[in-house]
Amino acid sequence: MLNFGDMGTDAAFERLFRTVLLKGAFVASQLTGVRVPRRFRIDIVGGDRPGRYDDVADAARALWREDRLFYARIDLAVGEIAGERARAIAIVLPARPCAFDETWNTPRGYGPFRLVRWDAIDASGERPAEI
């Protein structure tokens, strides 16, 4: 279980996002047998600030709603290596924003993030397979 204390701060949310990204890179490495870089280019689909981010902190800020209000679920996959970076995609699923304890939060402590397999990502954001 991930525990970063009070998720009411953008700094705690960024730490959670970084941790889940690193877990995604680890899982991708295990699945492919290839070392996946721990630097990321992150594409955000949906939400209030979609786009491509080369900085994890900027991507976390784009996924941060506000104090005590979060996206309910963000599917996150890590894969596709380009040079020294791994590409990650974060798909914000349409739902009403909610409190942290009402987010996907499976496994416990992951908050809105659900790790999914890279090869299962559908550009439309439709039902990727969970890892």
Residue pLDDT, tens place only, 13-69:
999 999 999 999 999 999 889 899 999 999 999 999 999 999 999 999 999 988 788
Residues in CB range of 75: below 8 A, 6 or more apart: 90, 91, 93, 114, 116, 121, 125, 128
Q: What is the pLDDT of residues 87-124, one digit of tens each?
A: 999 999 998 899 988 999 998 889 999 999 887 665 44
pTM for the model: 0.86
How many angstroms separate the most distant Cα atoms in the chain?
A: 39
Domain chopping of the chain, boundaries: 10-117
- Residues forming a β-bridge with 75: 91, 114
**pLDDT for position 54:** 96
* Both tokens assigned to 14: 């960024």
* Closest of 22, 50, 17, 46 to residue 36, by C-alpha: 22
